[in-house]
Amino acid sequence: MGPASMSGEPPRASGPGDGRDPAGREGGDAFAVARRRMVEEQLVAKGIRSPRVLEAMGSVPRHRFVDPGFLGRAYGDHALPTAEGQTISQPWIVARMLELLAAEPTDRVLEVGTGSGYQTALLSRLAERVFSVERVASLLRGAQARLDQLGVRNVALRHGDGSLGWQEFAPYARVLVSAAAPRVPDALRAQLGEGGVLVIPVGGPQLQHLEVWHRMPGDRWRHQRHGECRFVPLLGRDAWRQRQETEQ
């Protein structure tokens, strides 16, 4: 069978859609070929180095997280629309954020913006436990169903305002925000443990920079600003307050 097309028709697959394979054990079908190409051509070729991140990106079936209408483009080099006007980010930016996060296998991670659950599934392979908060209930239900189908067990999802974090399970070794914030929300800083790392897109509604915050002993902070990115807005009490604010 030839390689899956990156655009146009869905790849002819030898049964990728039965919904029963656990994350990471899908192989030998056209989607697996497309996934390997994605890793080589979009990630390795563009500077992603972390072996653990590359392994996760090569294992999690991204096509399970996109709208069926976009199946043939699931492994393309672009973001894709999901339900409720949200997006599943381009593979490269997902991998870059995960690389900057540098989660360890023993880490407890907080994710803000579950969306489709794709990045959550990746995090589930990189960390011990993942706590993920999403403000849109219907998205959360979809994400839960996909993660269940893939047999992902070390993830807890919550409907709520992630700009306030998820206090109950703090402190977290890592915090990953996948929506654009005007600044780093206070609660997310407070819930990050000493030695922890927080990755977040910060900036205006149209354009942000990826920021990485390290919490050092004695509540000292060090942060670096990485490249430009474009995320949908983080809407919440300690974020953008309403859509109008982000549409100026």
List active site positions: 89
Among 139, 150, 188, 202, binds ligand SAH (CB under 6 A): 139
> Among residues 24, 162, 201, 203, which is the contact residue for ligand SAH, using CB under 6 A?
162
CA distance 32 to 13: 9
Cis peptide before 105 (omega within 30 of 0): no
Pick 15 or 64: Cβ nearer ligand SAH:
64
Please state the closest distance from residue 14 (CB atom) to ligand SAH, in A.
26
CA distance 110 to 105: 14
Please, which of residues 214-243 interact with ligand SAH by CB under 6 A? 232, 234-236, 239
Q: Which regions of the chain does DSSP assign to beta strands (E)?
A: 80-81, 87-88, 108-112, 129-134, 155-159, 172-177, 192-203, 208-216, 220-229
Contact by Cβ (8 Å): 131, 109: yes
Q: Answer yes or no whether residue 29 interacts with ligand SAH by CB under 6 A.
A: no
d(CA 170, CA 120): 18
The two tokens of residue 118 are: 């794709």
Please give the single-letter amino acid code of residue 101. Answer: L
Q: Of 53-61, 160-168, 187-195, 205-213, which segment contacts ligand SAH by CB under 6 A?
A: 160-168
With CB under 6 A as the contact rule, which of the stretches 13-21, 34-42, 127-135, 206-214 interacts with ligand SAH?
127-135
DSSP-derived secondary structure letter, 230 = -
Q: How far is the CB of 162 from ligand SAH (least distance, A)?
A: 3
Site for ligand SAH in 57-116 (CB under 6 A): 86-89, 112-113, 115-116
Give me the residues that bind ligand SAH (CB under 6 A), please: 86-89, 112-113, 115-116, 118-119, 133-136, 139, 161-163, 178-179, 232, 234-236, 239
